Chains A and B, each alone.
Chain A
Amino acid sequence: MTTTVLRRVNYLNVKYGVASWLLTKDHKRIGILYLIVVAIAFLLGGIFAAAVRIELTTPQGDFVSADTYNALFTMHGVAMVFFVLIPAVPAILGNFAMPLMIGAKDVAFPKINLLSWYVFVIGFVFTLAAMVLGGVDTGWTFYTPYSSVYSSSHVLLTGIGVFIAGFSSILTGLNFAVTIHRMRAPGMTWFRLPLFVWALYATALVQILGTPVIAITILMLAVERGLGFGIFDPRLGGDPVLFQHLFWFYSHPAVYIMILPPMGVISEVIACFSRKSVFGYSFVAFSSLAIAVFGFLVWAHHLFVAGISPYSAMIFSFLSFAVAIPSAVKTFNWTATLYRGAIWWRAPILWVFGFLGLFLIGGLTGLFLASLGLDVHLHDTYFVVAHFHYIMVGGAIMGFFAGLHYWWPKMTGKMFSNSMATLAALLVFVGFNLTFFPQFILGYLGMPRRYHVYSPEFQVLNVLSSAGASILGVGYTLVACYLLHSLWKGEAAGANPWRATGLEWKTESPPIPENFAETPIVNEGAYEYSKREVKVA
């Protein structure tokens, strides 16, 4: 490659002005647009979480009223699940990096890509409106008949927001699936694809097949709530448990929409910073597909105490154990990748180390909940809260940050402070464990989730948890600070600051609008670090 020429045109400076962004069809710009909206949602969700943690420092309900508390944890969940975790990796990092990684000029349908962002924003606006008008208090799970009949909060408005945002997810999934099928550069065979692309492909399947179900479910909820049709309310002849089946038929696979893409990020970053091919490439690739498929067969593990037959509970328990295996396989392969690597301790891999530790705990505690005999005691307690935060924050958000640090120089052309990033990774790791580890103990002790007021013997552990949350808050704020700072003061990154393989590193940072000056031709696997000395471009 040629050395970077000053003032070269790139996707950021090719045009200026708000309109040039709002009408862009460039996947890289759309990735940035998503980053902005998701960051706002993350900030909001974080503020709600902070309020919840403040309330829980004392057993009494003294900081906010019970109704406010219920609205706070609900809005925390809605903001984080539907507007942060689901879009974060695919819509931000996937949009930005995936076409570059397969050597394409853009996604298959650039206009639809922009449309998905608008759809997402409209969904977010509806949800925000519900929040501003007083919020919603059903829990992010919207269980009936509370949500359909009893709650007097803004269930419909929130439901509409989530419904609309779902279509953005479907459109992104479709776009990515077609892009991966049709737009790969010459020589980029399926088994030369970076594992992040495999993960996005598996995710796209879940997005396309699963998301319509939540849309239908919300529609049914709206019909019952708005028009009084009996679907879930037993007094109208409905079945409240049916809602749970439908809801989790989407929402369990949605967990994989949240975690598969970060898993893909982990593979990229581990390979780059240990200068090695990912151990067992095809096993890692196929485990993503296995997770996507099996993920559809385990939803009723959320219903073990909701009156389903003990025999069907048994089958769902078995399948839930089975779905854990591909994740275990991935973890072992990542560990083995480090073996005899040349590990360069830079910020992205430190986030990966954090991910490994937290995801491991999250995954293993899932086995407790898949165990019927234990789930009866643990269901709806803080154990569950701790478990899914380990997966979704410890796993998905750590993975997202690993990816954000990894591709930040590519996105912005600037380097952030490595020492600050190291400190932030450490703060987040420590803060996270202090926040959520005590919650496992609280859960086994029997503290139910969604409790505004609790029994005094649970206080010490709750105070520890709130203390951890403040460290976590500092950690996240630090990330925002040094990343923003790098935009103005960061050193120029150069095309390939990490000396990584991968097509995205073969073009300039930030990339030119059409990605590559000439279509790249691929003649080797994704992580051929050992074959050749990696050159600095």
Chain B
Amino acid sequence: MLSGIPLFPEQASTLAPKVDNLYFFVTAVTAFFALLVVVLVTIFAIKYRDRTGEKVGSPIHGSIPLEIGWTIIPFFVAMVIFAWSTIVFFHIVRAPDQALEIYSTGKRWMWRFQHLEGQSEINELHVPLGLPVKVVFTSEDVLHSLYIPAFRVKADAIPGRYSSIWFTPTKAGEHHLFCAEYCGTKHSGMIGKVVVMEPNDYQAWLSGGDLSMSARGEQLFQQLGCVSCHLNNGSGRGPSLAGKYGTQETLANGTTVAVDDRYIRESILTPQMKLVVGYQPLMPTFQGLVNEEGVMSLIEYIKSLPSTGRPAATTQAGAAVQGAAPALAPADGGPR
């Protein structure tokens, strides 16, 4: 820590070297142009110095070829950087399909992480080495931004929306996790660490947890009475949700929407906004009755429902005896 001045951050994900190579390239290009101008200005300033202030300069007014040259060449160079950086960017924003999902909510001033298997943690994020991980998150209050410098990833946490980052850790150990979007008094205290573990250790760590997310979602589905309207055989007052996830839904106004995290979240919190064709606007809003984490658990549960037959999550429902407290914990529930 005290050994001199750090100049360069640790590379701890597969993305990091990609970002860094681009960084070195842009640094080299810009350093070249900066040096070019600085050297020329210095040479001219010294060579053509006139101590008297009496002389006049040469009658040069300009040169069209030069103007064209120094418009086109920088433009071309800029386009190379643009192309390269856009490729890297699409790599950063597109998570691989098989990525392990972890849900998170940011709120003033902590990050809460919820693993699908049930473990949840605050300001610490345990992830397996060498496996792609996708963190899906939102905010319960103001804007935040989930930033892991060693992985070179960041995205804003926006209330009312889901954002995500993904990474494949390449270095075991602990890395900084920061809130990068100003969020008030303890903005700089909204930090934590990412703990990268060997996959086996990660599994062991996970099994220390309680109910899986979808099992918790199933509990909520019952407690909140969703089940009374949404029967799996489609005979209820609301549509069957089995196998819905990932399909297209036709709405009362004739448009179609993809049934994804965002749509389900809207259906739960603002059900009247998008009505399913053929159904009455009966569904009550659950705003205030279920917190962000509860919504995420419900989404996980709905995702897990196969197109026919019993929901998959029931297999784990044995653990449900422990009660529903975790998922229904009030928004400001402390570390568990």
Contacts and interface: CB of A to CB of B under 8 A. Distances in A.
B86 A373 contact: yes
Interface stretch (A192-200, A270-278, A428-436, A505-513): A270-278
Nearest to A531: B59
Interface-central residue, A277, A344, A448, A451, by most chain B CB under 10 Å: A448
B286 interface: no
Given A70-B185, A367-B78, A446 B33 contact: no
A341 B40 CA distance: 13
A67 interface: yes
Interface stretch (A124-132, A164-172, A220-228, A304-312): A304-312
A328 B161 CA distance: 39
A66 B186 contact: yes
Given A342-B55, A356-B41, 19 more contacts: A66-B185, A145-B142, A150-B142, A241-B158, A306-B156, A307-B161, A317-B86, A324-B74, A332-B66, A343-B44, A357-B38, A367-B30, A370-B82, A371-B84, A372-B88, A373-B19, A373-B87, A441-B5, A455-B191
29 contacts: A70-B187, A149-B142, A150-B108, A234-B159, A235-B160, A275-B55, A275-B57, A281-B61, A307-B163, A317-B82, A325-B71, A335-B41, A341-B44, A341-B48, A341-B57, A344-B50, A356-B38, A361-B34, A367-B26, A374-B26, A376-B19, A376-B92, A376-B152, A381-B180, A441-B6, A444-B9, A448-B147, A451-B187, A529-B56
Contacts of B59: 276-277, 530-531
B51 to A, nearest CB: 8
B93 interface: yes
Report, nearest first, the 9 A-B pairs whose CB atoms are least far apart.
Answer: A446-B149, A373-B88, A234-B160, A276-B57, A371-B85, A372-B89, A341-B57, A530-B59, A342-B55
Contact of B158 (A70, A151, A306, A450): A306
Interface in B48-73: 48-53, 55-63, 66-67, 70-71
A450 B19 contact: no
Contacts of B88: 372-374
Contacts of B188: 61, 66, 448, 450-454
A514 interface: no
Contact of A364 (B33, B48, B142, B186): B33
Given A70-B185, A374-B22, A346 B60 contact: no
A376 B30 contact: no
A36 interface: no
A248 B73 CA distance: 29
Contacts of B310: none
A500 to B, nearest CB: 11
A305 B145 contact: yes
A286 B195 CA distance: 54
A9 B128 CA distance: 81
A344 B53 contact: yes
Contact of A533 (B33, B56, B183): B56
Contact of B184 (A151, A314, A338, A370): A151
Interface string B152-190: 111110111101000000000000101111111111110
A283 interface: yes
B79 interface: yes
B258 to A, nearest CB: 15
B204 interface: no
Interface in A318-354: 318, 321-322, 324-325, 328-329, 331-333, 335-336, 338-346, 353
B90 to A, nearest CB: 6
B141 interface: yes
B232 to A, nearest CB: 32
A394 to B, nearest CB: 13
Contacts of A371: 22, 26, 81-82, 84-85
Interface residues of A, number: 97
A113 to B, nearest CB: 35
A102 B325 CA distance: 76
A248 to B, nearest CB: 14
Nearest to B163: A307
Interface stretch (A209-217, A402-410, A456-464, A467-475): A456-464
Contacts of B49: 343, 345
Nearest to A150: B142
A342 B48 contact: yes
Contact of B182 (A139, A329, A372, A533): A139
A379 B30 contact: no
A461 B22 contact: no
B150 interface: yes
A329 B159 CA distance: 42
Contacts of B158: 234, 240-241, 306-307
Contacts of B86: 314, 317, 372-373
A118 interface: no
Interface string A139-159: 100010110011100000000
Contacts of B108: 150
A67 B185 contact: yes
A60 B40 CA distance: 44
A236 to B, nearest CB: 10
Given A283-B62, A305-B145, A331 B37 contact: yes
A363 B55 CA distance: 33
Contacts of A529: 56-57
A24 interface: no
A329 B81 contact: no
A143 to B, nearest CB: 6
B276 to A, nearest CB: 21
A332 B45 contact: no
A336 B70 CA distance: 11
B230 interface: no
Given A338-B48, A340-B57, A373-B92, A321 B143 contact: no
B205 interface: no
Contacts of A280: 61-63, 66-67
A133 B330 CA distance: 35
Interface in B1-42: 1, 4-9, 18-19, 22-23, 26, 30, 33-34, 37-38, 40-41
B75 interface: yes
Contacts of B79: 321
A332 B44 CA distance: 13
B56 A342 contact: yes
Contacts of A279: 60-63
A374 B19 contact: yes
Contact of B187 (A372, A450, A455, A530): A450
Contact of B81 (A353, A361, A367, A454): A367
A301 B161 CA distance: 20
A145 B7 CA distance: 35
B199 to A, nearest CB: 26
Contacts of B156: 305-307
A372 to B, nearest CB: 3
B82 A146 contact: no
Contacts of A341: 44, 48, 57-58
A486 interface: no
Nearest to A451: B188
A332 B70 contact: yes
A122 interface: no
